[in-house]
Structure 1
């Protein structure tokens, strides 16, 4: 299944505003397309935030939509500049040789979201991985061949973790299947260090970790891992990344996102409370000592 690229949050904000101005002006997408001498599909992609808007095109659309207020025009121009700059810049650009489109998109979205909720079946979430654990996962994936590529990819994962500890840290909530604790990635020593690290991270005020034990039986999130990203602007901008064996899929439709919110709420309700989860994580960590 192919990966579906998400729109940028800033691009979606800009697109939402442009759509409202177009509708207020009584113009169809076909009529807007005539303004830019493009297809209706391009106007739809602009309004969905999937393609950047060049400044000359933005000014043409604002003129066609009778956007005359200085404040509104400056707000749209500022959104366009920020959205276009976000697409070009970012620390991850230096690692593009080892990043696929889906992973780069995920990093870009993580950089501007204010909340991350994730359910994991078998792997420690990337934002909580140690270097040794991440290296073992990277080698096992067989997607990167040379030691240099492997180390670059591990560095990407470690740099991502600054979202948990840097300025304005993101609110992170993970629900993990007990299998995450039991799957020996890298051997006992690596697992002991990994679980110790995860327990330490779980004590940070912006990090919540819960474990869903095997004893809970069947539950609604058993089908696979997913990531739910929320943004400070509007709940309607939330995104879901669903991981599949053949590719990751981004979902933006409100009904789809709402379904994953329900799934996550079910998972966290079924899981052990954070304090009991922390006790279990530490107990399993000690088992790797023996």
Structure 2
């Protein structure tokens, strides 16, 4: 069984505990009705151990939860589809952290992204993604680069599904001016950003150099939100060699406040589009 991100496991446990509390059952009573030992319910609720989707369904039956959307969401948090997801075919080249990130992205309904160096993966062109992958990971073989680019492009399906992911991205101006892959590749990428801005599910703002120093300078980050459960947000912070998953409520609140301040200092949509167009002309 593939590893389920610890942040999702803890969040799942919190939600299952909340549902149990709503029924008025103790953990001992819930375990008895499920045919388990009380320690199993305790481990699930505290996120100390992985939980199978089938076990989640058993608890939801005990708690008389019939809402299909909620049942599907919680089963997804437990890992349903993690092994059978499209990215399973790329497991030999995808680090565990990246697979964790994709499962979060796939299950989310909204993503707020602050990017201070590169275009968000969901908006990258194949040429940009290829050039960036080669530059950042020069040790990879051509086959591995091809696989990672395929994954990057496949991820973008979340913006085109029946219930598309809502993406709100704030890009530092340096993202637009860094010639990843050279001027031709970058010019194509800028056009892709302009096209994405026309999608109702995409909100894109540029944070200009004139805004000065800001909280997004040191690290890029993404805040994932999930349907039906308001306090299920997870923050992913990028570092040079790894990603940090943040799920403490006070930390999530701090990142949410930081994103609000950054978006407030960024250009509005029309001015952001004008800057992208102006930089594109400079590359022509």
Into which bin does the TM-score normalised by the smaller protein fall? 0.7 to 0.9
* Native 8 Å contact 1:12 1:237 kept in 2: yes
The 5-angstrom pairing of residues 244-283 of structure 1 reads 244-283=239-278
Question: Match for residue 135 of structure 1?
Answer: 130
Unpaired segments ≥5 residues, structure 2: none
> What is the SS of the residue equivalent to 1:203?
coil
With 237-246 and 72-81 compared, the bigger mean Cα shift is at 72-81
**Which of 134, 150, 153 pairs up with 2:148?**
153
Shift of 1:232: 1.2
Whether contact under 8 Å (2:114, 2:170) holds in the other structure is yes
| Greater Cα shift, 86-95 or 181-190 | 86-95
Partners of 2:251 and 2:210 in 1: how far apart? 29
1:1-290 alignment to 2 at 5 Å? Answer: 5-8=5-8, 12-13=11-12, 16-18=15-17, 21=20, 24-27=24-27, 36=37, 43-44=42-43, 46-48=45-47, 51-53=50-52, 55=54, 71-72=64-65, 83-142=78-137, 145-289=140-284
SS in 2 for 1:86: coil
Shift of residue 163, structure 1, vs aligned partner: 1.1
Distance 1:202 1:50, change over 3 A: farther
> Compared with structure 1, are the counterparts of its residues 267 and 77 closer, same or farther at alpha carbon in structure 2 (3 Å cutoff)?
closer
Cα distance between partner residues in 2 of 1:205 and 1:54: 33
Q: How far 1:142 moved relative to its partner?
A: 1.8
Change (3 A) 1:50 1:161: farther
Q: Displacement of 1:12 after TM fit?
A: 3.5
Task: State the 1:222 CA deviation.
Answer: 2.1
Using the TM superposition, give the Cα deviation of residue 229 of structure 1 relative to its aligned residue in structure 2, in angstroms: 0.6
Kindly tell me the number of residue pairs found equivalent between the two proteins: 273
CA distance in 2, matches of 1:179, 1:170: 25
- Structure-2-length-normalised TM-score: 0.83
1:250–1:228 Cα change, 3 Å: same
- CA RMSD in angstroms comes to 3.2
CA shift for structure 1 position 136? 0.7
